[in-house]
Amino acid sequence: MQKPDLTTNDLAADFLQCPDRHDTGAEKWDRYQGRTTATGKEILPFWVADMDFQSPDVVLDAIRKRTDHAVFGYTHETPGFASTLTTHLREQHNWQIDPSWVIGVPGIVTGLSITARLLSQPGDGILTLTPVYQPFLFLPKLAERRSVRVPLHADVTAQRWTIDWELLEAALTPDVKIFWLCHPHNPTGKVFTREELLRIADLCEEHGVTVVSDEIWDDLILDGSNHIPFASLDHPVARRSITFVAASKTWNIAGLGCAAAIVPNKDLRHQWRQAGGGLVPMVNPLGYAASEAAWKDGDAWRQKLLNVLKYNKQCAVRAIQDIPGVSCIPPQATYLLWIDCNEWIARQPPDRNQPQHVCEEAGIGPSNGPEFGGSGYLRLNFGCPPALLQEGLERLRDAFGAYETSGQ
């Protein structure tokens, strides 16, 4: 196997191991707890998108300081939440927002649900590009809206994911009122270019569609691309868009339930809480404290994390290249690998052609592609210590059959 450009010598020691997450209520590890393979191996989880790394000291110190206060009453946005996020977005993404645009929300899924009710009526369509993070697919139905899905195209020659513009425009029928954009994209890891974003904006302007952009992965760019916030575009659609960001993915604090909606339009901000229908709780104070600390003082840790994720990405992509019938387009962002198993499936007998099943039999638990609208795919989370990833990749090879390669 070709040696990765980065080595473990380039990685901070803190990322070479992780705390034991068994018996902590961790959704990721509980899924397979008690299940073993025929040979007695524990099934290792590589599915849900949280990392196994301990959060940085700056975040832990902020949480300790907040708990020392010892009062945990109902909490609105804290005084520094919007201003800290404003500074972070300006410094990291060259996007200048007004702090008054920021609304604390307990998570992206909650925020998407609010936008469905805020920007459309029952029966209207909500468009998204597939494959995509599962709530983009099932939330419209829960809100009595229609899910409109336009598949991304895998350009294998260029090794990038592209948009079929004719298909997208055809899908923008008069009843479609919202475009839910996942940017950077989960699960493909695509980073949308300025040209792509402007073309989306033009189409949405022409068809009277509001863009809601989930940018929760914006701080995890792995290939040197620039993340361009959709709302930073000089375009009428961008000025009336809604953006979601959070520290949760980058600094591994998803369990603290804190995100931000950025809503430039004053009228929409005033209607926001009413659109929640009394079902949306306040963000908890520890989530605010952790997010502020991550955005303000967490960049040194983030840079070390990016080195680990780039190394892991190299290892995972090269391992996939050595497995016959399986392929992937390297992700530009996130810590997720979207693996195409369709060629392998076509070669298998009907009782052995389920990638998720054979992976679990081999002791590795990725996410099943159909959950994201991607038949024949798997999603692999490589946000873990390299040694754990290497064990998972060995099991992935075992799942899809033995192979031989020189130099392994």
The architecture that CATH gives domain 68-296 is: 3-Layer(aba) Sandwich (3.40)
CA distance 277 to 34: 40
CA distance 206 to 200: 10
Predicted confidence at residue 7, as pLDDT, reads: 80
Domain parsing of the chain, residue ranges: 8-56+300-399, 68-296
DSSP secondary structure letters along 161-224: EE--HHHHHHH--TTEEEEEEESS-TTT-----HHHHHHHHHHHHHHT-EEEEE-TTTT-B-SS
Predicted confidence at residue 4, as pLDDT, reads: 55
The architecture that CATH gives domain 8-56+300-399 is: Alpha-Beta Complex (3.90)
Collapsing DSSP to helix, strand or coil, 72 comes out as coil
User: Global pTM?
Assistant: 0.95
Number of Cβ atoms within 10 Å of the Cβ of 364: 27
Predicted confidence at residue 402, as pLDDT, reads: 46
Predicted confidence at residue 407, as pLDDT, reads: 33
**Average pLDDT for runs of 10 along the chain of length 408:** 66 91 96 94 97 97 98 94 98 98 97 97 98 98 98 97 98 98 98 98 98 98 97 97 98 98 96 86 96 98 97 97 96 98 94 94 98 98 97 97 41
Q: Are 379 and 369 in contact (CB under 8 A)?
A: yes
Q: Are 357 and 378 in contact (CB under 8 A)?
A: no
Same-fold call for 8-56+300-399 versus 68-296: no
Predicted confidence at residue 316, as pLDDT, reads: 98
Predicted confidence at residue 243, as pLDDT, reads: 98
CA distance 171 to 17: 46
Predicted confidence at residue 49, as pLDDT, reads: 98
